[in-house]
Structure 1
Amino acid sequence: MVLPANIFRAYDIRGVYGKDLTPDVVAVIGGALSNFEHGDYCVCHDTRFSSPVLARALASGLAGAGSDVVDSGAGPIGMAIYASKHLNYHVAYITASHLPPEWNGIKLFRPGGEPICLGDIERIRSIAERGVSWASVGSSGTLRVREVLPEYFDFLHSIGKHSGGLRVLVDCGNGATSMVVPKLLRDLGYQVFTVNCDVDPRFPVRGSEPTLENTMYMSSLVREFKADLGVSFDGDGDRVIFFDETGSPLTPEQAAIVMLHSLGKAEVAVNVECSSIVDRAVAEMGGRVVRVPVGRIFMILDAVKSGAELGVESSGHFVTYRGVNLDDGIVSLLFMLEAVEKLGGPLSKYRVPMPPVKKVKLEVPDEEKFRIVDALKSKYTAEYDRVTTIDGVRVDVDRGWFLVRASNTEPVIRITIEAENAEELANLERKVLRDISELLKRKNK
């Protein structure tokens, strides 16, 4: 069966429901997944309109190719990760995360919480297009229901710390965390105020992605309810934004440092785009920073491999420490609340200022972008002492740093620059743009 090539991404499978992602396509993907890795599967889903139908199609495909399947219904992505890491299932979770309502997709995990991604996604596609080996009559897998959500809730309750009455404003964005977070926090003794905590697959208020622009209402609501902490989730609950008691949003790096105040000395995984404020905070506490490529998958894989106590992604994903769970915004919230309780006093007191940052997007032809980044790697490795080349090239200097990366999906080079002040920022920007311009001119001669 020829499948739409665009739905197979590096980290997941994703497309528009009814256009490229249909029940028949998903059933074939389920069969291919079973051929790729036979085992006991848990199929569950977020709260989108199309998710239950696609989950049933995927489960049918898995069972039709011989795998035993439990259907665990709707819940946040943390439930899926819990089923993988703590119940030892292969997991297929139907979600489009922060994308609009018409989109949907599949995130895959091996037992233990390791994501199935990158080359493995292509192998699944290859099996599907080559032809699934369906089970013979009488040898199909079983399909039964197992309610994992109550088990996941009990797990969260067991790791959450009982509060002395901290006030929390929760914005679930009408997504899957609405099924868990308000009740969980109330059971733990928090004073909970809610906004957008009714499940609504249309995501009518702000969409499913929590950005600084579309969560601006949280600033005034945090102050209105005199909340000690505010939190906004994306559609399936793997991304989160925190707000201090003044209503100011914390960057992922600032939030990670608050958690570190509670954690102390630790190994911390951060992507190459994260601010140097994390490096300084970790060093002051006697810990160690490990840089990973941009993308939540790399942070998760590093945490599985190295056992880092904390991971932070510049897009708002966290890997929480102690091996409790992976890339689960609800667990991240529990540990943030624990840190705030331990530290005492207002959250804003522990907010480390962010240095000036600038992001530049340069349109560069596909055939040129990787050549230019490779040339910069060679040039900067010869010029500077602190150079990281695991994802593009990052150069750390005395008063800042810059990162140059080629986009994998667009004819674009992305530049991120951070410096102690606006003057240093401008100096670094001029240097990087000049270097890229010279490399482009050489090609055109």
Structure 2
Amino acid sequence: MSEATFGTDGWRGVIARDFTLARLTQVTSAILRYLQDEHLAHRGLVIGYDRRFQSRAFAEEVADTAARYGLNVWLMQDFAPSPAVSWMVRHKNAGAGIVITASHNPPQYSGLKLKEYFGGSARPSTTEKIEYLLCQAALPHHGTSPGRIESIDGRSAYQAALRAFVNEDHIRAAACPIGLDVMHGATGDMLAAPLAELGFEVKLLHGGDNPGFGGINPNPIAAHLGELSHLVRTGAATLGLATDGDGDRLAAIDENGDFLGPQELFPLLLQHLLAQRGERGRIIKSTSTTRMIDRICARYNLPLTEVAVGFKHACQAILDDQVLMAGEESGAPGIPRHLPDRDGQLAALLLLESLGCSRRPLHELKRELQRQFGPLHYRQRNLPLPAVSPQALQRHLADLQPSSVAGLKVQATTRIDCVKWHLENEAWLLLRPSGTESLVRLYAEAPAGNTADALLDHGQEMVEGLERRLS
């Protein structure tokens, strides 16, 4: 059984091997002790869950544990996306929120995400304290009396907040036959119902319960969205949208059937907020995110902060400053005026708002962005780590000091998250072990697609060479 540690976003493990009721109670107890130590326990705890195997039962175990130690608990009466729990934490002025979810991980996983009092992912300083308490087996202090457990509808108020944030007239102007793949995840019909009211003919895919997720990870990457892409390519839908297992990721299929992931959607949504909604503020991006964000910020003279991968790092920056938008390579961006957290549902509505506001199709907006700010081609690749620990590999990767990568001169090196080489011609390569899976993630970007591919190949050779030396 592995140790319970918090990765880029929460603690995750294989059900019955790592993620057990006993271990869940231990982690919950450490969180409760932290809330007591920080004088937050009296504000209560919001608990939500996704549609994975036994998620409801795990959430009830967390609720019972918290009530036993005197905390009042608001327990979602049905599954809900993670951002709905974040929103409810702020709505209830709670001390924290816990979501039972393993997000986009394979079906055999479950997990726990901690949302802090401000309605965002737990910051590194917070999870470090919780991990310390967990190692010390520090149980919370018993309350003078048991807390109450209140069942709440956590979906309706959140749904209303989403609709209040966007311009529904602009969304109506984009109405069309739309494919919506929720991948058997916690988004469920949360988007389908309002979109139907706004004039869309919604074709909902994978909306039913299926803890096996049809045999794939509930991660909206191109390889998993064949059915959605087919809907668009055959003319059954004009546009496709997809959310992940807990609703904090978004992907799209444009009118030509082409896939758009976070690297395309983050810049498009940012440009929409700036050019069409006239909003301004600091922008936060993870170190693995496209340089298109840098170019847009330079054009609009906006401050930009680069942080490590994991929205918990963005949350600290959000609390420190006036931030318009924060995003990373793996999820939907967060807009602090709505929530200091990633939100796939809001991103979907804002994307449709941008289409209605501009009266242009998605593929044209994507092409216009490249024309206006210059071409960039982003690539990402995952390599399994069968024989080497991620921690050992990370230490050695960070020590690499090449003078060039794939024939491009190294102009600077940053170690915000493992190692990233900034190369000539605005190209870059990042190598970092995953915080949630036994993988090394490789990222590259360049003005030419073949250059980005060559950078990934060179990076893979580096990683495999280190693996051979260390195994």
Q: If the TM-score is normalised by the length of the shorter chain, which range does it land in?
A: 0.7 to 0.9
Aligned counterpart in structure 1 of residue 264 of structure 2, from 244, 254, 272:
254
Runs of 4+ in 1 over 4 A off after TM superposition: 358-369, 377-380, 383-387, 408-415, 422-440
5+ residue gaps, structure 2: 275-279
Aligned counterpart in structure 2 of residue 94 of structure 1, from 88, 91, 100:
100
Which residue number corresponds to residue 22 of structure 1? Answer: 20
Return the alpha-carbon distance in structure 2 between the equivalents of residues 433 and 145 of structure 1. Answer: 49
TM-aligned CA deviation for residue 154 of structure 1:
1.8
Return the alpha-carbon distance in structure 1 between the equivalents of residues 394 and 382 of structure 2. Answer: 14
Cα distance per residue 1:141-182 (max 9 Å; x no partner)? 222222222211221222233213512321111111114111
Return the alpha-carbon distance in structure 1 between the equivalents of residues 183 and 392 of structure 2. Answer: 40
Task: Tell me: CA distance 1:54–1:412, structure 2 relative to 1, closer, same or farther (3 Å).
Answer: closer
Structure 1 length-normalised TM: 0.85
Contact 2:281 2:322 in 1 (8 A): no
Contact 1:228 1:346 in 2 (8 A): no
Q: Which has the higher contact order (CA 8 A, sep 6+)?
A: 2
Which residue number corresponds to residue 166 of structure 1? Answer: 175
Contact 1:253 1:278 in 2 (8 A): no
Which residue number corresponds to residue 30 of structure 2? Answer: 32
Which residue number corresponds to residue 242 of structure 1? Answer: 252
Contact 1:34 1:66 in 2 (8 A): no
Letter in 1 for 2:14: V
| Deviating more after overlay: 163-172 vs 342-351 | 163-172
Return the alpha-carbon distance in structure 2 between the equivalents of residues 175 and 435 of structure 1. Answer: 37
Aligned counterpart in structure 1 of residue 5 of structure 2, from 4, 8, 17:
8
Contact 1:369 1:411 in 2 (8 A): no
Contact 2:421 2:428 in 1 (8 A): yes
Letter in 2 for 1:355: H
Alignment of 1:197-346 (within 5 A): 197-204=207-214, 206-225=216-235, 227-264=237-274, 266-320=281-335, 322-324=337-339, 326-346=341-361
Cα distance per residue 1:322-379 (max 9 Å; x no partner)? 3445211101111111111111121111113642647585988865752552453999
Structure 2 length-normalised TM: 0.80
Contact 1:114 1:304 in 2 (8 A): no
TM-aligned CA deviation for residue 125 of structure 1:
4.5
Which residue number corresponds to residue 85 of structure 2? Answer: 80
TM-aligned CA deviation for residue 206 of structure 1:
4.6
Aligned counterpart in structure 1 of residue 202 of structure 2, from 192, 207, 216:
192
Return the alpha-carbon distance in structure 2 between the equivalents of residues 212 and 34 of structure 1. Answer: 39
Aligned counterpart in structure 2 of residue 420 of structure 1, from 437, 443, 447:
447
Cα distance per residue 1:191-243 (max 9 Å; x no partner)? 32221122333322754222211112222202434544311111110111112
C-alpha RMSD of matched pairs (Å): 3.5
TM-aligned CA deviation for residue 306 of structure 1:
2.9
Q: Helix, strand or coil: the match of 1:270?
A: strand
Return the alpha-carbon distance in structure 1 between the equivalents of residues 449 and 220 of structure 2. Answer: 28
TM-aligned CA deviation for residue 92 of structure 1:
0.9
Task: Tell me: CA distance 1:358–1:71, structure 2 relative to 1, closer, same or farther (3 Å).
Answer: closer
TM-aligned CA deviation for residue 413 of structure 1:
6.5
Contact 1:179 1:199 in 2 (8 A): no
Which residue number corresponds to residue 115 of structure 2? Answer: 109
Identity of aligned residues (%): 22
Letter in 2 for 1:305: D
Task: Tell me: CA distance 1:23–1:438, structure 2 relative to 1, closer, same or farther (3 Å).
Answer: closer
Return the alpha-carbon distance in structure 2 between the equivalents of residues 314 and 336 of structure 1. Answer: 17
Q: Helix, strand or coil: the match of 1:315?
A: coil
5+ residue gaps, structure 1: none
Which residue number corresponds to residue 127 of structure 1? Answer: 133
Contact 1:14 1:105 in 2 (8 A): yes
Return the alpha-carbon distance in structure 2 between the equivalents of residues 435 and 20 of structure 1. Answer: 31
Contact 1:17 1:104 in 2 (8 A): yes
Return the alpha-carbon distance in structure 1 between the equivalents of residues 454 and 106 of structure 2. Answer: 39
Which residue number corresponds to residue 185 of structure 2? Answer: 175
Q: Helix, strand or coil: the match of 1:7?
A: coil
Contact 1:64 1:141 in 2 (8 A): yes
TM-aligned CA deviation for residue 304 of structure 1:
3.5
Task: Tell me: CA distance 1:325–1:346, structure 2 relative to 1, closer, same or farther (3 Å).
Answer: same
TM-aligned CA deviation for residue 393 of structure 1:
3.6
Letter in 2 for 1:199: D
Q: Helix, strand or coil: the match of 2:401?
A: helix
Task: Tell me: CA distance 1:72–1:432, structure 2 relative to 1, closer, same or farther (3 Å).
Answer: closer
| Deviating more after overlay: 163-172 vs 367-376 | 367-376
Return the alpha-carbon distance in structure 2 between the equivalents of residues 133 and 389 of structure 1. Answer: 37
Letter in 2 for 1:178: G
Contact 1:369 1:412 in 2 (8 A): no
Return the alpha-carbon distance in structure 1 between the equivalents of residues 400 and 137 of structure 2. Answer: 39
| Deviating more after overlay: 238-247 vs 408-417 | 408-417
Task: Tell me: CA distance 1:355–1:77, structure 2 relative to 1, closer, same or farther (3 Å).
Answer: same
Contact 1:170 1:192 in 2 (8 A): yes
Return the alpha-carbon distance in structure 2 between the equivalents of residues 70 and 415 of structure 1. Answer: 40
Which residue number corresponds to residue 417 of structure 2? Answer: 391
Letter in 2 for 1:98: H
Letter in 2 for 1:349: E
